[in-house]
A and B are shown apart, each in its own frame.
Chain A
Amino acid sequence: EIVLTQSPATLSLSPGERATLSCRASQSVSSYLAWYQQKPGQAPRLLVYDASNRATDIPARFSGSGSGTDFTLTISSLEPEDFAVYYCQQRSNWPLTFGGGTKVEIK
């Protein structure tokens, strides 16, 4: 099973700041990695797939990068609605796995 490790666990930032979230895989997943956003009481929402492709209707301030074992989700300038928990997920191998999440909170 591929283990995804996300860091940091919590990121405390102010609106307008840049957020950089990391996801590291225990073995190469090529570019088969996605990012999701989840707000309290809501289902997750797909943000990025195949490491760097934004999903439909996702704002351009969200960008993904990386390949192999190291991936980054960048939010260029945080909007109030971006404070949430973010998860990465790999589809390279079964079973599908998620990272433990990074909470982006208001500083």
Chain B
Amino acid sequence: DGGITQSPKYLFRKEGQNVTLSCEQNLNHDAMYWYRQDPGQGLRLIYYSQIVNDFQKGDIAEGYSVSREKKESFPLTVTSAQKNPTAFYLCASNTGTYNEQFFGPGTRLTVL
């Protein structure tokens, strides 16, 4: 079955540690996105990538980093510089700019 997988579903980390969230898709989509969701707020764009080896900052990129070495994979690293990292993180992809976006199941990150 084609789709987007994110792992792990729940993640705990100690303050000051970096952590990497996985996002893999087998839909052959060119574009991939990372969004953050906080209670009472809409999803906000962290980073996006239109093509392998290229990515752009979204609205709230500070404290995050990404890589796009393979078309299928778009991992997100939450660094210790991110002041408020506890949130729900969603990965998405689409095949072209005018096409429907597909979402992964999300990773809930809690910083202790």
- The reply to whether chain A is a binding partner of chain B is no
Which B residues have a C-beta under 8 Å from some C-beta of A? none
Which A residues have a C-beta under 8 Å from some C-beta of B? none
